[in-house]
Amino acid sequence: MKSTQGILSPRLKAQLVNYGRLMRIDKPIGTWLLLWPTLWALWLAGEGHPDQGLFVVFVLGVFIMRSAGCVLNDYADRKIDPYVERTRSRPIASGAVLPAEALTLFVALGLIAVGLATMLNRPAQLLAVVGAVLTIIYPFIKRFVSVPQFILGAAFGWAVPMAFAAQTGGTPQLAWLVFGTALIWAVIYDTFYAMVDREDDRKLGVKSTALLFGDMDLFVIAGLQLVMLVALILIGLRAELGLWYYFSVLVAACLMAYHQWLARNRDRPGCFAAFLNNHWIGLAVFIGIVLNYTFAPAAS
């Protein structure tokens, strides 16, 4: 028995590591990109004082839903990933995890997400159903439409109206303005990401905004960055935020210019660096929101 345990234990540990890789636990960038708009929404909806319980539920929900989305994405791409340089070592593509195991893991994560959703109010629960649908359809949509990044943006930003609904019981105009900003931001950073795989995607027939925009990619991204900055300013006006917030928007603008510089040659390392660096935009805006409410003048 001791010998059997000695043989099985390392195998079990290795498989748990593979499951973790399938969930992208070793690559938290996606979690950060999903988390920042969620935190923007929680702080704005709570006017600087979000409900502590909701904070825990949404942070856990971000991690679980991002993990579930990654698992389903790799399952959907199991016949594509072996032929893409960046993805051929993923657990399913390399044979380390079987497709049936991935589906089982996805269902398990989905059940955890359902459990978290039961802790929310009815409006947020109804929105959670839409969020689940977006999460499920995104991995398959890139076979049919040329702008899958917009679907990803909707999926990544859907926690925003959910957070407003959970905190306030409704989804005011501010909620949809923040959602739209998060959607545009996702299109920006995921287009940088798609530029890394552009040649592989072209050969395999996978659609993306990087292929759609072609040689105009950086110009279109710059236009989207400008739209996002305008949207961030409108958020500040609608929420009556102060100088701390607008300084964070200025920092975001400087970061956007830096990302353009990183991707200027359209090479894989530069585009991937621009994608990874987008996380700092979300952090900068969140810090601006927090500082605004921390140092806002007291009401007379």
Nearest Cα residue to 58 out of 74, 37, 73: 37
**What is the pLDDT of the chain when averaged over all its residues?**
91
Element housing 236 (H / E): helix 217-238
The structure tokens 């300013």 sit at: 233
Q: What is the pLDDT of residue 294?
A: 94
The pLDDT confidence band at residue 1, using thresholds 50, 70 and 90, is very low
State pLDDT tens for residues 67-124. 999 999 999 888 888 888 788 888 998 888 899 999 999 999 999 999 999 999 999 9
State pLDDT tens for residues 225-245. 999 999 999 999 999 999 999
Structure tokens, 252: 């975001």
Task: Give the predicted TM-score (pTM) of the model.
Answer: 0.91
Q: How far is CA 273 from CA 36, 256, 276, in A?
A: 19, 12, 5
State pLDDT tens for residues 154-172. 999 999 999 999 999 999 9
Q: Domains of the chain by range and CATH?
A: 27-295 (1.10.357.140)
Quick check: 3 pLDDT over 50?
Answer: no
Query: How much of the chain, in percent, has pLDDT values that exceed 70?
Result: 96
Distance CA 292, CA 246 (A): 9
Nearest Cα residue to 289 out of 256, 248, 234, 254: 248
Nearest Cα residue to 182 out of 159, 211, 163: 159
Cβ-contact 183, 150 below 8 angstroms:
yes
Nearest Cα residue to 192 out of 279, 284, 134: 279
The pLDDT confidence band at residue 205, using thresholds 50, 70 and 90, is confident
Distance CA 283, CA 300 (A): 31
Structure tokens, 92: 């399913």
Q: What is the pLDDT of residue 145?
A: 82
Q: What is the pLDDT of residue 84?
A: 80
Average pLDDT over residues 14-33: 92
Average pLDDT over residues 4-30: 81
Distance CA 78, CA 83 (A): 10
Structure tokens, 230: 């305008």
Average pLDDT over residues 287-298: 88
Angle between helices 29-45 and 173-196 (to 10 degrees): 170
Distance CA 70, CA 55 (A): 23
Q: What is the pLDDT of residue 11?
A: 79
Lowest mean pLDDT among 36-40, 57-61, 258-262, 293-297: 293-297
Say whether 13 sits in a helix, a strand or coil: helix
Structure tokens, 157: 């930003």
Cβ-contact 44, 239 below 8 angstroms:
yes
Average pLDDT over residues 21-40: 94
State pLDDT tens for residues 132-158. 999 999 888 877 888 889 998 999 999
